[in-house]
Amino acid sequence: MKIRVETGPIEEIECDALAVVAFEKESPGGSLAWEVTKAVNGLAGKWIEEMCQSGEFSGKLFETAILYRPSGLKAKRLVLVGGGKSDKFTGVELRKAAGAVVRALRSKSIPVVGLALETGGGLEEQVTAAVEGAILADYEPDQYKTENKKGQPIETFLAVAPGGDPALEGTARRAQIIAESQNFTRSLVSEPANRMTPAVLAERAGQVATEQGLECEILDQDRMKQLGMGALLGVAAGSAEPPVMIILRYRPEAEAGSGAHLGLVGKGVTFDSGGISIKPSENMEKMKYDMAGGAAVLGAMRAIAQLRPSIAVTALVPAVENMPGGRAQRPGDIVRTLAGKTVEVLNTDAEGRLILADALTYAKRLGCTHLVNAATLTGAIVIALGQVNVGVFSNDDALREKVLAAAKAAGEKLWPMPLDDEYKEQLKSAFADIPNVGNRWGGAITAAMFLKEFANSTPWVHLDIAGTAWLDDSKPFLAKGPSGVAVRTLVNLAVNWRD
Ligand code: BES
Ligand code: MN
Ligand code: ZN
């Protein structure tokens, strides 16, 4: 999708459809609370006002209406998109409203689409939200549909900001990089497990590295054996697909004093059958998204390489398939982690924490001073937070605050979870240093407590994205399937890093 910022007079803008936001009648300022909407209403013979007054258009979030050949505008169509209550309308709603416009028009194969932004303050935030929302909405995981594809991608999206500063072009460019990287993540996650093996994921990471100028290193099974990554290798043992550890490195030009080195670690289980502790077959097909954390980290690196922040960033993605083959690890097996701690594998379906344990340890060996991992780690986080919030766990208040601030700026929802020492009671093994599971209660927390043992004294944040990395149903502004959650947060964290 091509992106442009239009700062000229609104009546002069040539496009197939120009969208404006109208609000619910009762909200402050009424339906036409925005100046830009009022201006367009005046040009187009009060169509907007009449539609809203009559109640035919309620202004509810994401409602759309289309007028063909509006008078007074060069645009071929005028589109109304509902903004809900004007005083509740923030960047988050704008991102979704832009998405709703794109999806409504995409389904009609309309190529050039603009969205009018409110004149005056906050244009940077508006351009960012509109551009991101448009690009994210245009993504459809239909690469394997050979017929009955719904609609066509939008060709050009215009962020319409009459009288705006031409420097907004740069803002739009950054938003485009981030949203396209999030779509890259979604495209990785949408691949079925027969086409997205650990080796394929490594290949795709290598392509990104070549295209964007990152250093890429792939540790193979032999190297991991030499190093002693017993926890990771144990998970991989049941699969015919060999595991890999993907490492991407970004280095800023001039080491900007700080010395901080961010490690982004992502769970890359390309399929989670559960292993010998096999999962029920219902919904098992969804477990191709168990590499969403790894894909988020790769997507973030794709953007970071282009936005060039001043902090060093290393990404690590342990990639394995969790299968119940004849060489699979068994419940009761004891493995030795890279850190030297032994783990009793009581449940082979708690595999994410095993591969992450070795990856976190290795990240520290590579010099990372701060660690952030993203993982579809537990069903328990879905019970706790539903499909709305990412669970945030941390051993360091300052880093947790940084991550929460980055998420807020990115418009992603994160919710802090506890890690009290009392939960550690559950992690006692009779025969090894630590078991890989606790009891039934607080499963997302005990999983995080397990990881914390390996982060140790290094500042660390764990994002459990099991509930948020996959949309079970499409939304007016997003396709069903992979969401690409955490990409924008991770990018903002690196780009806005302050010691
Ligand atoms: N990949 C799953 C977690 C998951 C569940 C992700 C549902 C997305 C949706 C993880 O590897 C897993 O199987 N966790 C187990 C842990 C249990 C065995 C302690 C779980 O959550 O049931
Ligand atoms: Mn599992
Ligand atoms: Zn898993």
| C-alpha 268 to ligand 3 mean position (Å) | 9
Minimum CA distance residue for ligand 1 atom 5:
379
Q: Are 105 and 113 in contact (CB under 8 A)?
A: yes
| C-alpha 350 to ligand 1 mean position (Å) | 6
Q: Are 133 and 97 in contact (CB under 8 A)?
A: yes
Ligand 1 pocket mutation, candidates 378, 446, 465, criterion most atoms within 8 A of CB: 378
Q: Are 139 and 188 in contact (CB under 8 A)?
A: no
What residues contact residue 161 under an 8 Å CB cut-off, 6+ apart?
A: 5, 6, 7, 117, 119, 123, 126, 127, 168
The ligand with the least distance to the CA atom of 378 is 1
Q: What is the pLDDT of residue 255?
A: 60
Q: Are 86 and 23 in contact (CB under 8 A)?
A: yes
Ligand 1 pocket mutation, candidates 189, 235, 349, criterion most atoms within 8 A of CB: 349
Alpha-carbon distance of 294 to 434, in angstroms, equals 25
Minimum CA distance residue for ligand 1 atom 7:
379
Minimum CA distance residue for ligand 1 atom 8:
466
Q: What is the pLDDT of residue 490?
A: 99
| C-alpha 279 to ligand 2 mean position (Å) | 8
Alpha-carbon distance of 180 to 183, in angstroms, equals 5
Task: Report residues whose beta carbon is within 6 angstroms of any ligand 1 atom.
Answer: 272, 290, 347, 349-352, 376-380, 382, 437, 443, 466
Residue 192 burial (CB count, 10 A): 11
Phi-psi region of 340 (alpha: psi -120 to 50; beta: other; left: phi over 0): left
Q: What is the pLDDT of residue 42?
A: 97
Minimum CA distance residue for ligand 1 atom 17:
350
Q: What is the pLDDT of residue 254?
A: 74
Following DSSP, what letter does each residue of 121-176 receive, concatenated?
S-HHHHHHHHHHHHHHHH----TT--S---S---SEEEEE-TT--TTHHHHHHHHH
Q: From the CA of 290, give the closest atom in ligand 1.
A: 1
Residue 42 burial (CB count, 10 A): 14
**Strands 460-464 and 481-482, bridge-based pairing:** unpaired
Report the greatest alpha carbon distance in the chain: 79
Catalytic center residues: 279, 353
Q: Which residues surround ligand 3, an ion (CB under 5 A)?
A: 269, 272, 290, 352
Tens digit of pLDDT at every position of the chain (499 positions): 999 999 999 999 999 999 999 999 999 999 999 999 999 999 999 999 999 999 999 999 999 999 999 999 999 999 999 999 999 999 999 999 999 999 999 999 999 999 999 988 799 999 999 999 999 999 999 999 999 998 999 999 999 999 999 999 999 999 999 999 999 999 999 999 999 999 999 999 999 999 999 999 999 999 999 999 999 999 999 999 999 999 999 999 876 667 899 999 999 999 999 999 999 999 999 999 999 999 999 999 999 999 999 999 999 999 999 999 999 999 999 999 999 999 999 999 999 999 999 999 999 999 999 999 999 999 999 999 999 999 999 999 999 999 999 999 999 999 999 999 999 999 999 999 999 999 999 999 999 999 999 999 999 999 999 999 999 999 999 999 999 999 999 999 999 999 8
Alpha-carbon distance of 76 to 44, in angstroms, equals 12
Burial of 196 (0-12, 13-18, 19+ CB in 10 A): buried
The ligand with the least distance to the CA atom of 274 is 2
The ligand with the least distance to the CA atom of 381 is 1
Angstrom CA distances, 202 to 12, 205, 499, stand at 48, 5, 32
Q: From the CA of 289, give the closest atom in ligand 1.
A: 8
| C-alpha 219 to ligand 2 mean position (Å) | 23
| C-alpha 288 to ligand 2 mean position (Å) | 11
Q: From the CA of 277, give the closest atom in ligand 1.
A: 18
| C-alpha 233 to ligand 1 mean position (Å) | 19
How long, in residues, is the chain?
499
